[in-house]
A and B are shown apart, each in its own frame.
Chain A
Amino acid sequence: MVSPAVALIGVFIFVPMVLTIWLSFHQWSTQTGFGTAEFVGLRNYRDIFGPISVGRDFKRAFSNTAIYTALSVVLILPLSVALGLLVYQSRVAGGNLLRTVLFSTYMVPMIAVALVWSKLYSPTEGPINQILSWVGIGPQPWLSSPDTALVSIVILNVWQQVGYFTVLAIAGLTQIPTTLYEAARIDGANPIQEFFGVTLPLLRRTLLFSAVIAVINAVQVFEPVALITQGGPANATNVLTYHIRRVGIERAQGGLGSAMAVMLMLSLIVVIILIFALARQREERT
């Protein structure tokens, strides 16, 4: 009963995962068979962390991805809780409609998101700079300056993803027993104390899950970079998914690309363990 699923996942996920690790110790052209791979030990790893251009590009892509991921998570989590509360409250109507609008952006293909936002960001004919000018803020270069390009893509990502995390937050909110709020109110808690004393601690598991998913989604950013910025300007948006594909598929340096992929996987494991450790530590303290 499990064999079709196990066979497919085994062949198309586990086998290539092991191959990625194996290839990372080899020099190999992606255009040729696995048999042509030539063992080179740790050379690929030395290269991607070395001072040569291969290393410089990889380290830049790595730090861009780290910044992009951290910013995305830091923006998405609080926003999802705030928007979740806005949808979940029963004081005024419109919550469910808001949820529909927010979540619908999650259904939009990233490629379309990238194209639409590239126009929204346009310094001259884009509406964002026009709106900013109405409130007295000068035109921003957005995607065309190395200082703002990565942040611009983070904003685009947050817009696309926040609806999903809002639904997760709402799911967490529905799990909080109303008796706890009643008890807090009897104790004389104001809404702010209620939020920090009841809501936030009980959302911890939801936020932990959200953080992990947000990290994994963020490292996969590809379309806006591939289509609009091509990693530029001045390498400012060269992120790992884009860079690994460029090295491993387009330049056919399969071993080098695999070493980069292994580093991405290891970093993800470390980050996820850190998130769990942090959450556990908090739990023990309270």
Chain B
Amino acid sequence: MTRSARRSNPVRQWRRRALGAILLLLIVLVAVVAAFPLVWMLLSSLKTPAESMQTPPVWIPSSPNFSAFGEVADVIDASRSFWNSAVIATTTTAGILVTSLMAGYAFAKYRFKGRDLLFAVLISTMFLPPIVVLIPLYRMVTYMGLNGDLFGVIVPYLANAFGIFLMRQFIAGVPDDLIDAARVDGASEIRIVFSVVAPAVVPAIAALALFAFVYHWNTYLWPLTVLQGNTDDYPIVLSLGRLLSYNRGAMNTSLVMAGATLAVLPPLVLFVFLQRFFVDSIVSTGVKG
């Protein structure tokens, strides 16, 4: 059978269309189910308090308004929480970028005794759930006088194994000639890391920055443990927890949903605009067969 004959076969063509329609339906269905909780959150944040508590539930707010957002801002000092989250996420991210670039460079381009063992030991910490070290770490931070302090939230997380791993993977692909040329020109090793190697691995840096930022924006367990009721320094995710206890009596759903929306927006907006970097880094790091 020739190609054109096959294409014009009506049964085959019908089957093909049916399959396409089923796939399309599936895609739409999955996307709707996946997006539903976030859409519900957004819709609920625009409802009046009474409307958000109605039975059976009201899906579309009758007179959408942002008053719940204003109330959130009053109750939890949202701008302060936002600022704290931004401070935690950006300083941690900056620290991770610097330490990971340096270590990744060394592991990719230096030969030193025990290199592979050290690398393996560092990488193994990637698989350690934070709860395992939480109790002594809490005490150590107290020793350092950082209990109840934003620095206590930040300092233990200025380096991590994932960052080192990601950087090593990408820096291994930077040509040695480029680095040698910089050495011949008399550049110091630190200078080589930040002005020769770093510009060559910008996509990896972007990916790591995004992952670190989102992770530390979202993280809850450690700040909760360190800050211990020092609500002035609460990041937005902790303030969100306060919001729930604040209105446990009245259970004002629209208020809680407005708070959740505020906490979700920064990481989500970052992701939607920069998702290529996330996806590329996942694709290029772990799982090549």
Contacts and interface: CB of A to CB of B under 8 A. Distances in A.
Interface in B126-143: 127-140, 143
Interface residues of B, number: 92
B221 A241 contact: yes
Contacts of B256: 115, 119
B138 A163 contact: no
Contacts of B38: 104-105, 108, 116
A159 interface: yes
Contact of B122 (A5, A15, A110, A127): A5
Contacts of A95: 27
B41 interface: yes
Contacts of B125: 9, 13-14
Interface string A111-131: 111011101100011110010
Interface stretch (B49-57, B73-81, B172-180): B49-57
B66 to A, nearest CB: 18
A59 interface: no
B206 interface: no
A104 B135 contact: no
Given A8-B99, A89-B23, A94-B27, A34 B129 contact: no
A120 B40 contact: yes
Contacts of B113: none
Contacts of A248: 134-135
A100 B41 CA distance: 18
A15 to B, nearest CB: 7
Contacts of A100: 272, 275
Interface in A202-231: 202, 205-206, 209, 212, 216, 219-220, 222-223, 226-227
B158 A1 contact: no
A115 B243 CA distance: 10
A57 to B, nearest CB: 16
B260 A116 contact: yes
Contacts of A6: 103, 118, 122
B138 A30 contact: yes
Contacts of B24: 92, 94
B72 interface: no
A111 B31 contact: no
A120 B132 contact: no
Contact of B268 (A14, A107, A171, A205): A107
A20 B132 CA distance: 7
Interface residues of A, number: 91
B159 A9 contact: yes
Interface stretch (A43-51, A142-150, A192-200, A261-269): A261-269
Interface string A169-189: 011101110000000000000
B13 to A, nearest CB: 13
Given A101-B35, A120-B40, A245-B221, A9 B132 contact: no
B27 to A, nearest CB: 5
B41 A104 contact: no
Given A115-B244, A117-B37, A1 B110 contact: yes
Nearest to B141: A12
A130 B56 contact: yes
A172 B268 CA distance: 25
A83 B160 CA distance: 30
A183 B287 CA distance: 24
Contact of A9 (B160, B237, B263): B160
A98 interface: yes
Interface in B3-52: 19-20, 23-24, 26-28, 30-31, 34-35, 37-38, 40-41, 44, 52
Given A9-B122, A171-B286, 17 more contacts: A15-B140, A86-B26, A98-B31, A101-B31, A101-B34, A111-B218, A116-B40, A116-B260, A167-B278, A170-B283, A171-B282, A172-B289, A175-B289, A206-B289, A209-B287, A249-B135, A261-B134
